[in-house]
Amino acid sequence: MEATHRPVISSTGLFTPSESISNEELVESFNKYVELFNAENADAIAAGGVEALAPSSVEFIEKASGIKARNVMVKDPILDPETMSPRWEERGNDELSILAEIGVKAARQALERAGRRPENVDAVLCAASNMQRPYPAMAIEIQQALGIDGFAFDMNVACSSATFGIQTAADYIRAGNAKSVLVVSPEITSGHLNWRDRDSHFIFGDVATAVLVEDAAIAPPDHWDILGTRLKTVFSNNIRNNFGFLNRAHPETSNAADKLFVQEGRKVFKEVVPMVAQMIVDEAERLSIDPRGLRRLWLHQANTGMNRLIAHRVLGHEASEDESPTVLDTYGNTSSAGSIIAFHLHSEDLAEGDTGLICSFGAGYSAGTVFVRKTAA
Ligand code: COA
């Protein structure tokens, strides 16, 4: 008889950069930039040729998003009103690149927590929305730095990269092609964020997460059974970044604002909430799980308002912080890593048999669900 392979989550890892920017610091620097811009362009503004910039506000940011602070790899250049973008020394090809470095830190923690040696891992997926370069793959660099034999590749599904990575890893396990797969999501979102754009300058933060997906046959006794995974994509221009190597063909526009993150925030809110809530309920039904009985939702951390609405539609009541924990307040939106940070920080208290949901949504549009159940020794 053919052996069945059951995918589980054996462990997770988290790397948090040491520097953090509060809303107060962010707004102070943004408003200095606005003052400078308006002073430098005073004549053109008076003549009607240039529009004056409006200041940002701490109250708006917190009310609209729930974000109070965000971690970043480097704080000073972002807050310098003359720079307003991250800066670091370019590294040589023989040095570990910065994105791989933080991915390795999160991955090492996941391996340690599972008691897994790198030589027993079969594959590494670098699943993130902000790759440092097209090739060689970040995943292969991470694989080498960890000392893993096997294969590795990058996948970018924007904010849903981690859940798409988990399903891909789970499928390798189910098919018997791998027993242990690392899904690493290093997100240096400060590089794609337009820190000069009042509508979005507060949204993102930097971080790295890792998820070790394994065959139940080799997993540690404490793990999370993966009950089912489901992915969905629907094309939308409402979250978009046009940065890419083909921009070199258009040098005159290659630094324009659309080569950074741009979104129609209200449309995203209106269109994504019902799509994701329905997807969760449909998938729960397929798996014979009562969504109202879910012990915890680890949702993508984009916006507290979106999460509140999605959780309400799934659970049938206003979710408590215990039912749908937020990490958005201190981490900001960390793209694909958000739901994994929530899971990493808020899952140890669950009991054997508790069922929960890791869920992501974002650009593409893309959305992914991973229903899990705790198994304890
Ligand atoms: N400080 C002060 N006021 C600001 C501001 C800022 N930083 N940014 C925008 N405003 C003002 C706008 O000018 C507007 O003023 P008006 O009503 O006088 O025109 C008002 O605040 C509302 O702006 P709007 O952009 O419509 O805000 P919003 O309430 O829709 O909130 C988001 C903006 C982005 C937080 C919200 O749309 C959202 O959460 N969308 C979900 C998308 C998301 O999180 N995507 C991330 C990728 S998954």
> Measured from the CB, is residue 239 less than 6 Å from ligand 1?
yes
CB of 275 sitting under 6 A from ligand 1:
no
Residues linked to residue 124 through DSSP beta bridges, in sequence order: 152, 182
Q: Which domain holds residue 228?
A: 224-375
Name which of 67, 82, 78 is nearest 190 in CA terms. 78
Domain assignment present for 255: yes
Atom of ligand 1 nearest to the CA of 362: 48
359 is catalytic: no
The answer to whether residue 235 sits within a structural domain is yes
- pLDDT of 2 reads 53
> What pLDDT is recorded for position 377?
77
Q: How many domains does the chain have?
A: 1
- 336 belongs to a structural domain: yes
Q: What pLDDT is stored for residue 1 in this prediction?
A: 47
Whether residue 208 is contained in a domain is answered as no
Residue type (1 letter), 353? G
Query: Closest ligand 1 atom to the C-alpha of 65?
Result: 35
Cα-to-centroid distance, 305 and ligand 1 (Å): 12
Closest CA to 360 of 340, 331, 345: 340
- List the residue whose alpha carbon is closest to atom 39 of ligand 1: 303
Are 166 and 359 contacting, i.e. CB atoms less than 8 angstroms apart?
no
Reported as type and span, the H/E element at residue 77 is helix 76-79
- Classified as helix, coil or strand, 19 is strand
Query: Is the CB of 333 inside a 6 Å radius of any atom of ligand 1?
Result: yes
At residue 109, what is the residue type? Q
Closest by CA position to 194, among listed 32, 99, 84:
84
Give nearest CA residue, ligand 1 atom 48. Answer: 362
103 lines ligand 1 (CB under 6 A): no
Closest of 281, 285, 205 to residue 297, by C-alpha: 281
**How many Å lie between the centroid of ligand 1 and the Cα of residue 268?**
11
**Residue 272, helix vs strand vs coil:** helix
Closest atom, ligand 1, to C-alpha of 30:
7
d(C-alpha 363, C-alpha 235), whole Å: 9
What local confidence, expressed as pLDDT, does residue 124 receive?
98
Question: For residue 27, which atom of ligand 1 is closest to its CA?
Answer: 7
Instruction: Identify the residue whose C-alpha is closest to ligand 1 atom 34.
Output: 265
- Compute, in angstroms, the gap from residue 196 CA to the centroid of ligand 1: 15
Examine residue 130 and state whether it is found in any structural domain, yes or no: no
User: 121 in a domain, yes or no?
Assistant: no
Q: What does pLDDT average to over the chain?
A: 96
pLDDT at 48: 95
Residue 314 lies inside a defined structural domain of this protein: yes
> Residue 315 maps to which CATH number?
3.40.47.10
pLDDT in tens, 140-166: 999 999 999 999 999 999 999 999 999
Preceding peptide of 135 cis, ω within 30°: no
- Reading the chain (377 residues) residue by residue, the pLDDT tens digits are 456 999 999 999 999 999 999 999 999 999 999 999 999 999 999 999 999 999 999 999 999 999 999 999 999 999 999 999 999 999 999 999 999 999 999 999 999 999 999 999 999 999 999 999 999 999 999 999 999 999 999 999 999 999 999 999 999 999 999 999 999 999 999 999 999 999 999 999 999 999 999 999 999 999 999 999 999 999 999 999 999 999 988 888 888 899 999 999 999 999 999 999 999 999 999 999 999 999 999 999 999 999 999 999 999 999 999 999 999 999 999 999 999 999 999 999 999 999 999 999 999 999 999 999 999 87
Catalytic one of 159, 166, 340, 358:
159
Distance 266 CA to ligand 1 centre (A): 7
Distance 67 CA to ligand 1 centre (A): 13
Question: What's the pLDDT score for residue 155?
Answer: 98
Structure tokens at 60: 């708006």
DSSP H or E segment with residue 274: helix 265-286
User: pTM of the full predicted structure?
Assistant: 0.96
Residue 269 Cβ inside 6 Å of ligand 1? The answer reads yes
Residue 354 lies in a domain: yes
What is the model's pLDDT at position 249? 87
Residue among 59, 65, 334, 365 to mutate when testing ligand 1 (max atoms within 8 A of CB) = 65
Ligand 1 binding pocket includes 265 (Cβ within 6 Å): yes
